[in-house]
Structure 1
């Protein structure tokens, strides 16, 4: 399964798709990128005259690249026209260190910790274009395996 196929299976679309590309994916984790465009809807009010990417959006970007893309890859043998995987976030714990500004490109790296009983848990880190740690944490989700 290619990275373009994985991205096409994501259950998101603009303006809530935070994956531009995947540069690595394996049974053990993913590496992907996203550039926060200066016209993103959330910059209009966060913060007045000094736009900063909200932490909840950074967490969502980490979850989409590091958890959902990996979950789709891990279930690639089950995916068909009749079955599209659905992944729901169950928990997140993220520590933030640096802000992300408009037009900034980030890299997300995830490492699978556990995948059993349809639950995926990953350690995920986000870096800015200077390779500085922006945030890191653990994110978990449940994968729906039936089409009912």
Structure 2
């Protein structure tokens, strides 16, 4: 495996690979629709237009091998702190254990610093215990209980 990894903004040509990554696990298989890219195209258009959104891909040897979304959130709490939220982290099965996940999160933390953030947050489904250990190894702490409401 070569080390010519590039982390760059996601483009429309990357969508099939991104959606395949999002769908490539038991949770994603239930909620993603790789056969219809229309909603993903519309979502990527919105992300590209918003300067606080960073949808990125990791590319190695011309192939998308990972994706994540970084959102910058200005706020009033914590003395007006700006925070970032890391979401949708996926690494291709062939790349797991290669260090790509670590490099990806390091990129997101570095970009958060560059954007003036004082806090980096992420959520992970309760069933993703391997991911929880991974994030803890990188210095994240499980500090909150999250809630969702589908509307």
TM-score band by shorter chain is 0.3 to 0.5
| Between structures 1 and 2, the one with greater strand share | 1
The TM-score with structure 1 as length reference comes to 0.34
Greater RCO structure (CA 8 Å; 6+ sep): 1
| Between structures 1 and 2, the one with greater helix share | 2
